Structure 1
Amino acid sequence: MKKQLGLITLASLFAAPAFAAPETYLVDPNHTYPRFEYNHFGYSNQIQRFNKTSGTIVFDRAAKTGSVDIVIDARTVDTGYALFNEHLQGEDFFDTAKYPTITYKSTAIKFDGDKPVAVEGLLTVKGITRPVTLSLSSFQTMPHPIVKKDALGANASARIKRSEFNAGKYAPHVSDDVTLTIAVEALKQ
């Protein structure tokens, strides 16, 4: 019996590293700037961004699971032009007086082998929640060379219709289709 107990204990010691626990990463607000792109009257594609984002990413490579919880401060929309920033914060678009944040909460992470390739979740804009799948064009975890902590980075994008979030003014002249892109970096806690 002692021999069997010893073998079980020894086996569990070697197996323990295979059971990695979920790792929690805090979004780095200095390297995470969600952007949105739309066509402006057929002239050009305009790209704007938000300057303040927070959130948490939980990632378990071994279990192929995780979660994403992102909060974008819609009051920090940045077009490079203060008057247009105010216009976008108005009732016709983000209505930041009533809805100061935009949120994205994952419902599932999709993998191709060991690599996450998409995040399914719920996007909430102006109090309206819709399912949105973010495609990942890149995903990386590794030690950060400057802060000496493990870090996670990804580029995610999705195409949405702004009219589905009660922000469709001037469509179709200003395109209803909007590409949402989130370049995110996060540090392990």
Structure 2
Amino acid sequence: MIRLIAILFILLPLGSFAAPINYALQADRSEVGFVYTLSGANNRGSMPVRSANIVIDLQQFANSSADVTLDVSRARTGLIFATEALKAASVLDARGHPTIRFQSTAVRANNPRNLSEGGQIDGLLTIKGVTRPVTLNAAVFRQRGAPDGDLSQLSFRISGAVKRSDFGATGYSDIVADTINIDIAARVIAAP
């Protein structure tokens, strides 16, 4: 259930960070959103993050990684009947498969010298026990209000699209489109 919208990287001087940094997710300031089409109309839903392990190397962006697990049982669609259908065995099967997991396998900046030009994250996405490779677009920003050069607090936008049928989530295909768009807004802070 995922389309991730391409965004720009806006990172400032990178010289002050010379090694990979572990970042902690600010769950209360983050949202894993998705857009699904129900009877021809786009609707937005969300799913909370259960756990996240995020490492960013601002000198060698390719050394960065993410391992994120979502809580399917707490997913919301904005429509009670659609939320229940989403959790049903024929779609995400929240009882049998209570999580969705993304594990990055490669991170690429469009321009390693200028992260403001965006990048991609390749990874393995596991939904309903089925694992498939995906490529997501990513953007990193210094959090609003942070002093120039302070990269201890970052914001991410991640976007992409998946076909739910690729993961066996085929229920209600007569009224719900196969392609799910993802739009993730996440905020992280450097772990102590």
TM-score range, shorter chain: 0.7 to 0.9
Give the drift of 1:33: 1.4
Inter-partner Cα distance in structure 2 for 1:142 and 1:153? 6
TM-score, structure 1 normalization: 0.80
Partner amino acid for 1:152? L
Deviates more, 1:82-91 or 1:68-77: 82-91
Inter-partner Cα distance in structure 1 for 2:101 and 2:173? 24
Question: Is it true that 1:168 corresponds to 2:170 in the alignment?
Answer: yes
Inter-partner Cα distance in structure 2 for 1:108 and 1:140? 20
Question: Is it true that 1:75 corresponds to 2:77 in the alignment?
Answer: no
Partner residue, 1:122: 124
Inter-partner Cα distance in structure 1 for 2:77 and 2:59? 41
- Indicate the SS of the match to 2:96: coil
Give the drift of 1:53: 4.0
Partner residue, 1:94: 92
Once the two structures are aligned, what percentage of the paired residues are identical?
30
Partner residue, 1:104: 102
- Indicate the SS of the match to 2:185: strand
Give the drift of 1:89: 1.1
Q: Is the 8 A contact 1:140 1:152 kept in 2?
A: yes
Partner amino acid for 1:140? F
Inter-partner Cα distance in structure 2 for 1:68 and 1:127? 19
Partner residue, 2:8: none
Q: Is the 8 A contact 1:143 1:150 kept in 2?
A: no
- Indicate the SS of the match to 1:30: helix
TM-score, structure 2 normalization: 0.79
Partner residue, 1:62: 59
Partner residue, 2:7: none
Inter-partner Cα distance in structure 2 for 1:22 and 1:149? 12
Inter-partner Cα distance in structure 2 for 1:52 and 1:121? 17
Give the drift of 1:28: 1.3
Inter-partner Cα distance in structure 1 for 2:81 and 2:17? 53
Sort the Cα spacing of 1:18 and 1:157 in 2 relative to 1 into closer, same or farther, 3 A.
Answer: closer
Q: Is the 8 A contact 1:33 1:53 kept in 2?
A: no
Sort the Cα spacing of 1:142 and 1:36 in 2 relative to 1 into closer, same or farther, 3 A.
Answer: closer
Q: Structure 1: any 5+ residue segments left out of the alignment?
A: 1-16
Give the drift of 1:152: 1.8
Larger radius of gyration: 1
Q: Is the 8 A contact 1:151 1:188 kept in 2?
A: yes
Higher helix proportion: 1
Q: Structure 2: any 5+ residue segments left out of the alignment?
A: 1-14
Partner amino acid for 2:76? D
Q: Is the 8 A contact 1:143 1:149 kept in 2?
A: no
Question: Is it true that 1:21 corresponds to 2:10 in the alignment?
Answer: no
Partner amino acid for 2:20? P
- Indicate the SS of the match to 1:34: strand
Partner residue, 1:134: 136
Question: Is it true that 1:188 corresponds to 2:185 in the alignment?
Answer: no
Higher strand proportion: 1
Partner residue, 2:158: 156
Partner amino acid for 1:56? N
Give the drift of 1:128: 0.5
